[in-house]
C-alpha cells in the first residue's frame, strides 16, 4: 500500500513527465519548421518516450490501488533560440527529471516502500542514459559548430543517433 505522500509525489512525477513530452513535441515542431528532419524525428521519439514514462507511473499507481491523476500540462514554449540552446535546455531538463526521480527513490527508501523502490530503478537507469545521450549530442554540436552550414551536419548526426537508438530498442524488444 502506498502512502499519501508517495501517491502525491508519483502524481507530481506524472505531470513532470507529461510536460517533458509536450516540451519535446514543441521542439520537434520547431526543428521540422527549420527543415531539420533528423532533429525533428529525434525529438518526436523523445516526446513519445516521455509519454510512455508518464504512462508507466500512471499505470503503476492504478496497479497499486491508488488514484492516478491525469495532469494539467503547462504550455511549453513554441520558439527556441537555436539548436545548441535546445539541447542545452533539454540536458538541463533531464537533470531536473533525474533529481526528481532521485527524490522519489529517497522517499521510497525512507518509507520502506520496496515495491516503489524496485519500480523506480528502471527510471534511475533511464535517466543516466538520457543525460549521457544529451551530453553526447552537445559534444557533437560543439565539434561541428552551429553556424548555418553546420546545421546540415548536426541534423545528420542526430538522425544517425536516433536511428541507432531505434535499432537498439528493437533489438532489446522495444523497451
Residue 174: band (very low, low, confident or very high) from pLDDT cuts 50, 70, 90: low
Would you say residue 6 has pLDDT above 90? yes
**Mean pLDDT score, 84-112:** 97
d(CA 36, CA 144): 15
pLDDT above 80: residue 93: yes
Please report, for the chain, the start and end positions of each structural domain, with discontinuous segments joined by +. 4-172
The pLDDT of residue 146 is above 80: no
Query: Cβ contacts of residue 163 below 8 Å, gap of 6+?
Result: none
Q: Is pLDDT above 60 for 175? A: no
Please tell me the predicted confidence (pLDDT) of residue 127.
95
Mean pLDDT of all residues in 1-30: 97
Q: Which three cell numbers stand for residue 139?
A: 559534444
Which grid cell sits at 19? 510536460
* CATH number at 4-172: 1.20.1260.10
Q: How many residues does the chain have?
A: 175
pLDDT at 75: 94
Question: Would you state the cell numbers that stand for residue 149, as one nine-digit string?
Answer: 552550414
Between vectors from CA 89 to CA 85 and to CA 93, what angle results, nearest 5°? 170
pLDDT band at 107 (very low <50, low <70, confident <90, very high): very high
Amino acid at each position: 500500500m502506498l502512502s499519501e505522500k508517495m501517491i502525491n509525489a508519483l502524481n507530481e512525477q506524472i505531470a513532470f513527465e507529461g510536460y517533458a513530452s509536450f516540451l519535446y513535441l514543441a521542439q520537434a515542431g520547431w526543428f521540422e519548421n527549420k527543415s531539420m528532419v533528423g532533429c525533428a524525428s529525434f525529438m518526436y521519439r523523445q516526446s513519445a518516450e516521455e509519454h510512455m514514462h508518464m504512462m508507466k507511473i500512471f499505470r503503476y499507481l492504478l496497479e497499486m490501488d491508488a488514484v492516478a491523476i491525469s495532469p494539467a500540462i503547462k504550455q511549453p514554449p513554441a520558439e527556441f533560440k537555436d539548436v545548441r540552446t535546445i539541447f542545452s535546455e533539454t540536458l538541463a531538463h533531464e537533470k531536473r527529471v533525474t533529481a526528481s526521480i532521485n527524490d522519489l527513490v529517497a522517499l521510497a527508501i525512507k518509507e520502506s516502500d520496496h515495491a516503489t523502490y524496485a519500480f523506480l530503478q528502471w527510471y534511475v537507469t533511464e535517466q543516466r542514459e538520457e543525460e549521457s545521450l544529451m551530453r553526447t549530442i552537445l559534444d557533437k554540436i560543439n565539434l561541428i559548430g552551429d553556424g548555418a552550414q553546420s546545421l546540415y551536419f548536426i541534423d545528420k548526426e542526430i538522425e544517425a543517433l536516433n536511428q541507432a537508438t531505434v535499432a537498439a530498442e528493437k533489438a532489446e524488444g522495444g523497451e
